[in-house]
Amino acid sequence: MHPRDQTIFALSSGRAPSAIAVVRVSGLQAGLVLTTLAGKLPAPRQASRRLLRDSAGQPIDDAVVLWFPGPGSATGEDIAEFHVHGGRAVLAALLASISIVPNTRGAEPGEFTRRAFENGKLDLTEAEGLDDLIHADTDRQRRQALRQLQGLLGDRARDWRERIIEASALIEAGIDFSDEGDVPAELRAPAMKAIKSLREEISEVLAAQGHSERLRDGLVVAIAGEPNVGKSTLINQLSRREVAIVSPYAGTTRDVIEVQLDLDGYPVTVIDTAGIRETDDPVEQEGVRRARARAEDADLVLWLVEGGRAVDPDARPPLLTSGGSVWIVRNKIDLNEGGGAAPAGGFAISASRGDGIPELVEALVKFAADFFGTTEGALVTRARQRHLLRQASDSLRRSLELVEEGEELAAEELRAAAYALGRLLGRVDVEDVLGAIFQKFCIGK
């Protein structure tokens, strides 16, 4: 039997031990599994309390079971659910009893959701939204993922694809009636009007997104500077816990330390790097190399300097050559008489005492808001989606340019645009991306 035809099962709730655990079964044998363990099928979509028994008739647990006959289920197949007490022994006995039913096997990561996709219960953009929702760490990530799961992009893409097909039908009808005088021109005009409108809509979506797809991964902020300027103290202050060793000795931080922060709903990864300086120590040299690499790749670099040191605000920090955003942050102002003035366009703080930290955090939140743009109505949340929308938009543009040279060329570009949107929805030729998407899901989802 092909693996896709086998009945799958998995623990769909958290790890044991827990108060309640949910085990899901999906496939042709789901009904047999339920009757084997619970005696008979309950009424569809109604919870029923049953004593579960193994193949030897021994009790497993006093449980609640549910029955969802396909196609009216989450996966489009027959589904059985067992809500049992979440002890390890209970789950081991239940999963062992399910596994001996013929043609059943443990589910692979994301296999329940993949079957829902393959059975038309959700499109690929909604599946990606579900994945993002599972992995959301901040409230803004959660809201964006939920909009995607509810079909915000998928519904628009389906509408665009249908309108492209309608325009293509008009163009091709004109080809069929090419010998009927002015008939092709009469059919071409409404088609061209529809194509122009479609391209404008897709272009507006692409132009308005900013970095919305980056919200999934978050903003990367690197704390860099020469040794012993307070980088580790600052990351401890921002994370409100000790994640880095603080020492008065230069070169204490040898590797890159990362902390995940939630700043007003924006996911931010803050990186504490080794002090950047010229050194003969091979271990410290490797730390400096890694620090430079991470700082070069960061979206924003906080370059820390000593409180009393003169700073040229227009000069790039030493050993940093990328064109990314850099903020000069004057630290240890509490150790200087009269404090320390913030450099032009920079900040003055005391990482050890907390002076200036609220202002720095507020500025980071504003930077994140400007970087991500308006995400509340964002349609595009992944690079894959943006790439396919650009393909569709480019094909629509070419169809408008080529229509005077021949309707056949314009019709071919319209087919390419419809094909790109079909890939976006996962309805045509997406086998190459399905594995990469669904293997990131947890087992049981």
Q: Is 271 helix (H, G, I), strand (E, B) or coil?
A: strand
Q: How does strand 325-331 pair with strand 347-348? A: parallel
Q: Which residues are annotated as a binding site for GTP?
A: 228-233, 247-253, 272-275
Q: Which residues are annotated as a binding site for Mg(2+)?
A: 232, 253
Q: Which residues of 320-356 are buried (b: 16+ CB within 10 A; e: fewer)?
A: beeeeebbbbbbbbeebeeebebbeebbbbbbbeebb
Q: Which residues are annotated as a binding site?
A: 24, 81, 121, 228-233, 247-253, 272-275, 445
272 Cβ contact list (under 8 Å, min separation 6) = 223, 231, 232, 234, 235, 243, 244, 253, 256, 257, 258, 259
Of 163, 214, 210, 236, residue with least CA distance to 399? 163
- Give the number of other Cβ atoms within 10 Å of residue 414's Cβ: 28
Q: How far apart are CA 407 and CA 405, in angstroms?
A: 7
CB of 23 closer than 8 Å to CB of 119:
no
Q: Which residues are annotated as a binding site for (6S)-5-formyl-5,6,7,8-tetrahydrofolate?
A: 24, 81, 121, 445
**Sheet strands side by side (includes 219-225):** 257-263, 266-272, 219-225, 300-306, 325-331, 347-348
Q: At which residue do the structure tokens 């080809």 appear?
A: 175
| Residue 429 in tokens | 């030729």
Query: 48 - beta bridge partners?
Result: 65
